[in-house]
Structure 1
Amino acid sequence: MTESVNTSLIGLPVVRRERLASQSAVPRPPVTLRAGLLPWIPFWLALGIGGWFLLRDEPGRKFYAALVLIGGMSLLLSLAAPRLAETGRIGWPWADRLRLVGLALCLITLGAGLAGGRAHMVAAPVLGFRYYGPVEGRVIGIDRSSSDRIRLLLDRVRLHKVPPTRTPERVRVSLHDYETLPVPGQQVMLTAHLAPPAGPTEPGAFDFRRLAWFERLGAVGYARTPVLTVAPPAGDGLLSMHRLRMNLAESMRQKIGGQAGAVAAALMTGDRSGIAEQTNQIMRDSNLYHIISISGLHMSMLAGFVYAGLRLVGTAIQGATGLRPGPLHKLAAAGALTAAGVYLWLSGGGVATERSFIMVAVMLLAIIADRRAVSLRTVAVAATIVLVVKPEALTDPGFQMSFAATVALILVHEPWLKVSPHLTWWTRPILMLVVSSLVASLATAPIAAAHFGRMTQYGLLANMLVVPVVGVLVMPGGVMAALLAPIGLAQPALWLMGVGTSWMLMIAQWIADLRGAVMLIPAAPNSVLPVMAIGAVLVTLGPMGGYHRAALFSRRLAGAVLMVSAIILWLTDRRPDILISAQGDAVAIMTPAGRVPSKPTGGSFAVRNWLEADGDPADQERWTRLVRQFGGLAKVDRVGFYAASRSVIS
């Protein structure tokens, strides 16, 4: 074998040839770089997806052809490397490294291809002009806007004198006045102002236009006229389910009453149309807004309650009858999975709810398959499924915060198991609540601050006071209400839910009213979150088998450096000196005292977003005081000129 190896290595230096030949003679080690790869798969996919979203323009065919070529060659490399080692051409350590590199490149190109393919798959017409006139369509969704107005989501849209090829597939219309709310499936007509989805208010800001593209939303607008019914609801299965959800939500709002009932209805059915904007605001200011949006917290609480309840009932039945129908934990996991599926159906199957269901389903299936339910591997499987099905989820703050919190909690799970037996029975749940809330808050705080430009000072306290109540009263009450509703005994369970949601709103109001409850933070550059996320992955994910401790330390050190670099980049970033709205109806100049808008009214949406991105709590009317302070001139130090208030700020 040595002769064949030396023959295949002709042309290499003697020392190099001898070292590779000696490696080829060593049998494959039992633990190689193949081990521990699963948690890295969603990371490599995310790199490709994120890279595609960073492109300034839609790439052409050459780009996708290059992806196919690079991905195919990388896949061949990962498959050929073990064969080369088996024939003695290279050593197994080199084969494993080549296989790792090939797999990483293949998944990165796959991620970019998935993002591009998804963007083309959801392509739909976008309104290219402002439209005023009759709009006809079928109601497929009802929600509430940030200005507290009811919004209708319509499909099967028809616009006057607009050909079908230019008519948006979906439009969303805010209602300024309505007498009766239409129901899903109903064909309606109204007179509305429509416009294309707006782009970012400044370069690098949130791009609603991109979000609308993936939702197939081609126009947004408002209507001041009544909504006319053209045809009654059809017997469509999905829309019938939506109508059932709305009826259940309305029943819960009436039986519980007030905003507590609206929040309870949102938690069980996903219908948030009854929640007032004032309630939404205090929930944001207290860092409790994530609770009224169905997420992994609610799905895991519901599944955990059903799982524990079924195990308890099964144990009682076994003790009373001696029957052993099967492994209780597997039967309970199957029952909890069924309950989670029903909850997904009942709540309308929103994007966040689907993501949460996938995470919980993977963990419950792990229990059924006798695998660890709480591990980075199960989270990696869930993340991979989400990214493959909907690559655009990577840019969603909910996706980022959900998986960041889950990974952080899993990382502290094993240390907690070692510490908890040494705690007293009454300190264990208290400390577990404090640790879990602190870890989840620390993991999600940078993401929330980067996306929303705000940080709640007392969010940890609010979550510690509210999350246990949600787990003990609200979600169990919802499950019991669903079980008792068919026999007409749901009222006590709904009362229990109402007690929990009333407590939630009381704590939210108290926290939001505290001085300094919310701190505005300047917007982060677009590069901050990707750099911070890559650093966090390098720090948190375990070693791939075969890693030397020194290499693992170097990788984690590099990750820490990236995270610190992202923070420094954020802190040293300088906001733009001049901002101009896309419509040209507002201009704002940075002065030593803050940003000065061009006029006290007009372009208010853009100006409000600019001030929030500056971390400035001032309103648009503040400009008059600033101009007066600078003697009629707005001094702009960083661009070195004076702008006369009459010529630029008028």
Structure 2
Amino acid sequence: MQQRPAVLAGVLLAQRGGLFCWVPVAFGTGIGLYFGLGQEPGPGLVAGLAGLAAALALLSWRVGYLWRPLVLGLALLLAGLVWAGLRASQVAAPVLPFRYYGPIEGRIVAMDRSASDAVRLTLDHVRLDRLAPQETPARVRISLHGPEGTEPLPGGWVMTTGHLSAPSGPAEPGGFDFQRHAWFLRLGAVGYTSVPLMALAPPDPAALHLFRLRMALAQRFRDGLPGEAGAFAAAVTAGDRSGMGQETLQALRVSNLAHLLAISGLHMGLLAGFVFMATRRGLVLSRRIALYAPVKSIAAAAALLAATGYLLLSGGSIATERAYVMVAMALIGAMALRRAISLRAVALAGLVVLALRPEALLSPGFQMSFAATLALVAVFAALREISWQARGWGGRALTLVLSSAVAGLATAPVAAAQFNQIAHYGLVANLVSVPVMGTVVIPAALVAVLLMPLGLQALPLWVMGLGLNWILWVAHRVAAWPGARGMVMAPPGMVLPLFAIGMLTVILWRGRGRWLGLGPMAAAFLLWAQAERPPVLIAESGGLVGILTPEGRALSRARAESFVAAIWLENDADPALQEAAALRWPGAPQVRHATGKRAAAAEGPCRDGEWLVLNVPAAEAPGATGCRVLDPSGLRQLGAVALWPAEGRMVTARQVAGQRLWNTPGLPPLQDRLGWPYPAPGPGRGAGVFRPAAAPAGTGPGQRPHGR
């Protein structure tokens, strides 16, 4: 019995110096547990968990060193759960409780492009007709499908007439939850307009400085570079993808070059490295400065300043924040003449990102960014231990191949799980594109930005265009190769957590015990290989039904609910388009689908166990006796539905998601339940934090206010 503490002491001693790397893992596990809860935790439970976390943190300094990591780990786990709950309540904002058509006013705070290739605007300070301020969404997002009107200006006040509705839930049970995603963006409604946009007032010179500067910079790049190259330049410099066409985006995804659009560690590292090298080389041209000044520290400070400016101008995405923390630590280490590229730096970056935005844990950007970074740091640290060095052009080429291969292997499972596809020729495309990005595009972009105030940016923009056109050519060429994209079935929910546990164990654990992490990874792939898709899927609106057949999923309609149809087919690993999938209909005899009042009225009696799906109220189908009916009113409570008719089993999106703040109207956030004061609301309607209020008379789900 006395040998057990000795063994445990030996294990912990072997981990000395590496335990900090597990801090964001424990904290992130708590965040993951919060999002996996089936019901929003009550105020008493949250307060109790917060107190328990604090007590465990204090207790850890009283227990022996053998138990201290375990106690601190549990405290961090509870802290992560509580922090995620507080964050979900802190961003609480009204959600539109009915379908709205009418005037929409607001200020433009973001611009991008929708999946239908339309310009999309995000508005704050929203005003909706006959809607009280406390019920008005803090932000709405609208796609511009109408004729061209006023050119949208960053920060400008605009007006249009359009359709709005609350953010929709998952397209199928267990799928991507757009309601949750929109909640943390404070998006209370999404929709579109088919009429021209009208300007109400010009941008306020005293507001949204960075956003307007970013958009102005993006426009300068688009003006200086024609076509897709200019849109690409705006994306990699200012984070503005509103000019990128869907065809180009798809080519970049299929060729595994889409990461070049994201302002991530690659761009941040290239920029900082170029500024560091240029500053250092410039300083040593003076003999006096080279001999008496801390040249390396000055160059590192200049690079840090450039990286900070890049972070501010890029919009501060998750990948950019992670990259900035990593680069900042490396440069601060260079100023102190110490090495800072290590797993501890990655861990600190992860902790910073999760503390700022706990919801980032669920995003593909966070998962892929940290998977690639952890793998690269671990592999090159291992190579450094065996004194491997890349010398000459051959060594640099080998380093590039190794880096691309390691990053690709680390992110491939995450990309396949999140996007249902694998880029078979991604390594080839990256090998001929990434060097061009580092040696041509990023340096030319930096020089162009520095020369823009003088109007001398033409030459560096021309050089930048050469590099970007090469990358676009590679993307389109590789995407056109036969078999460039492989499709994979959507995995069960436990696959990514198991893969993460295994990968973290292999990378972070010290000693032979790290290879135990191969077990969870193997279990994840085995679980994925045995996954089965639901035989029947029903959209939340009742407007689409999908039946799994030997030829693939048969869809009940060729055009309606195109977004949902695309998600179903992608999750099935089915490359067919919706029109082709609709030709496989009719589906199984146990499920019938009627759309519209006339079709519903024509429905007759059902056989025993038969289901009838409607997109109109069940009262419109009086002849459908004996049917198990799913109509819009019922589906609003259930969400999307998965059916196993032969087993008589039904799983709903609401069952999987649970009763949470983002999908349960009227559920008060923690501020209300704990009695905490609200911050003072900002200027404009819709500002501040949501306090639930009764709906005006005559409103409700699927209805509009009287008189609208």
Whether these two folds match at TM > 0.5 is yes
Conserved 8 A contact 2:539-2:564: yes
User: Match of 2:260, as an amino acid?
Assistant: I
1:645 and 1:120 mapped to 2: Cα distance?
A: 36
Distance 1:165 1:416, change over 3 A: same
Deviation string, structure 1 residues 482-541 (Cα, Å, up to 9, x no partner): 222233322111111101100010000001100111111100111110111011111111
Corresponding position of 1:54: 36
Deviation of 1:373 after TM superposition, in Å, equals 1.9
Q: CA RMSD in A?
A: 2.8
Deviation string, structure 1 residues 99-127 (Cα, Å, up to 9, x no partner): 11111001111111111111111111111
Q: Does 1:315 align with 2:284?
A: yes
SS in 1 for 2:62: helix
SS in 2 for 1:316: coil
Corresponding position of 1:243: 212
Deviation string, structure 1 residues 330-360 (Cα, Å, up to 9, x no partner): 2211111100111122223344323322222
1:445 and 1:434 mapped to 2: Cα distance?
A: 16
Corresponding position of 1:575: 533
Q: Does 1:618 align with 2:587?
A: no
Distance 1:437 1:104, change over 3 A: same
Deviation of 1:415 after TM superposition, in Å, equals 4.1
Deviation string, structure 1 residues 210-254 (Cα, Å, up to 9, x no partner): 1111111110000111111111211234x2332232222222112
Matching residue within 444, 452, 474 for 1:485: 452
Where does structure 1 lack aligned partners over 5 or more consecutive residues? 1-14, 82-94, 544-551
Matching residue within 123, 142, 160 for 1:190: 160
Q: Does 1:162 align with 2:131?
A: yes
2:554 and 2:159 mapped to 1: Cα distance?
A: 42
Conserved 8 A contact 2:289-2:295: no
Matching residue within 562, 566, 570 for 2:524: 566
Paired-residue identity, %: 45
Distance 1:233 1:102, change over 3 A: same
Corresponding position of 2:188: 218
Conserved 8 A contact 1:140-1:185: yes
Distance 1:371 1:387, change over 3 A: farther
Which stretch shifts more, 61-70 or 414-423?
A: 414-423
Conserved 8 A contact 2:554-2:583: no
Conserved 8 A contact 1:627-1:634: no
Deviation of 1:406 after TM superposition, in Å, equals 0.8
Deviation of 1:418 after TM superposition, in Å, equals 6.4
Matching residue within 41, 45, 49 for 2:27: 45
Larger proportion of helix: 1
1:50 and 1:508 mapped to 2: Cα distance?
A: 35
Distance 1:455 1:369, change over 3 A: same
SS in 2 for 1:576: coil
Equivalence map 1:129-278=2 (5 Å): 129-177=98-146, 178-237=148-207, 239-278=208-247
Conserved 8 A contact 2:536-2:548: yes
SS in 1 for 2:200: strand
Distance 1:595 1:642, change over 3 A: farther
Corresponding position of 1:366: 333
Corresponding position of 2:704: none
User: Match of 1:528, as an amino acid?
Assistant: V
Conserved 8 A contact 1:33-1:100: no
Conserved 8 A contact 1:633-1:644: no
Deviation of 1:66 after TM superposition, in Å, equals 3.3
Corresponding position of 1:511: 478
Q: Does 1:340 align with 2:298?
A: no
Where does structure 2 lack aligned partners over 5 or more consecutive residues? 593-607, 615-623, 628-708
2:166 and 2:13 mapped to 1: Cα distance?
A: 56
Distance 1:332 1:635, change over 3 A: same
Matching residue within 55, 60, 76 for 2:58: 76
Distance 1:250 1:420, change over 3 A: farther
User: Match of 2:118, as an amino acid?
Assistant: R
Distance 1:438 1:642, change over 3 A: farther
User: Match of 2:454, as an amino acid?
Assistant: I
SS in 1 for 2:154: coil
Q: Does 1:126 align with 2:95?
A: yes
Matching residue within 107, 117, 128 for 2:76: 107
Corresponding position of 2:556: 598
Q: Does 1:427 align with 2:394?
A: yes
Conserved 8 A contact 2:96-2:165: yes
Deviation of 1:52 after TM superposition, in Å, equals 0.7
Deviation string, structure 1 residues 5-60 (Cα, Å, up to 9, x no partner): xxxxxxxxxx86xx89x99xxx9999576532111111111111111111122111
Conserved 8 A contact 2:537-2:546: yes
Report 1 or 2 for greater relative contact order, CA contacts < 8 Å, sequence distance ≥ 6. 2
Deviation of 1:625 after TM superposition, in Å, equals 4.4
2:26 and 2:154 mapped to 1: Cα distance?
A: 40
Corresponding position of 1:386: 353
User: Match of 2:57, as an amino acid?
Assistant: L
2:273 and 2:289 mapped to 1: Cα distance?
A: 25
Conserved 8 A contact 1:185-1:236: no
Conserved 8 A contact 1:534-1:562: yes
Deviation of 1:140 after TM superposition, in Å, equals 1.1
2:124 and 2:339 mapped to 1: Cα distance?
A: 44
2:439 and 2:206 mapped to 1: Cα distance?
A: 37
Q: Does 1:462 align with 2:438?
A: no
SS in 1 for 2:564: helix
User: Match of 1:330, as an amino acid?
Assistant: S
Corresponding position of 1:329: 296
Conserved 8 A contact 1:592-1:635: no
2:232 and 2:553 mapped to 1: Cα distance?
A: 37
Deviation of 1:580 after TM superposition, in Å, equals 0.7
Distance 1:257 1:601, change over 3 A: closer
User: Match of 1:382, as an amino acid?
Assistant: A
Deviation of 1:613 after TM superposition, in Å, equals 0.3
Which stretch shifts more, 273-282 or 417-426?
A: 417-426
Deviation of 1:464 after TM superposition, in Å, equals 0.8
Q: Provide the aligned length of Structure 1 versus Structure 2.
A: 599
Distance 1:34 1:67, change over 3 A: farther
Deviation string, structure 1 residues 416-462 (Cα, Å, up to 9, x no partner): 44678676623111111110000000010100000011111101111
Distance 1:77 1:487, change over 3 A: same
Conserved 8 A contact 1:591-1:634: no
Q: Does 1:439 align with 2:406?
A: yes
User: Match of 1:214, as an amino acid?
Assistant: F
SS in 1 for 2:161: strand
SS in 1 for 2:532: coil
Distance 1:645 1:70, change over 3 A: closer
User: Match of 2:141, as an amino acid?
Assistant: R
Corresponding position of 2:324: 357
Deviation of 1:621 after TM superposition, in Å, equals 2.8
User: Match of 2:32, as an amino acid?
Assistant: G
Corresponding position of 1:607: 565
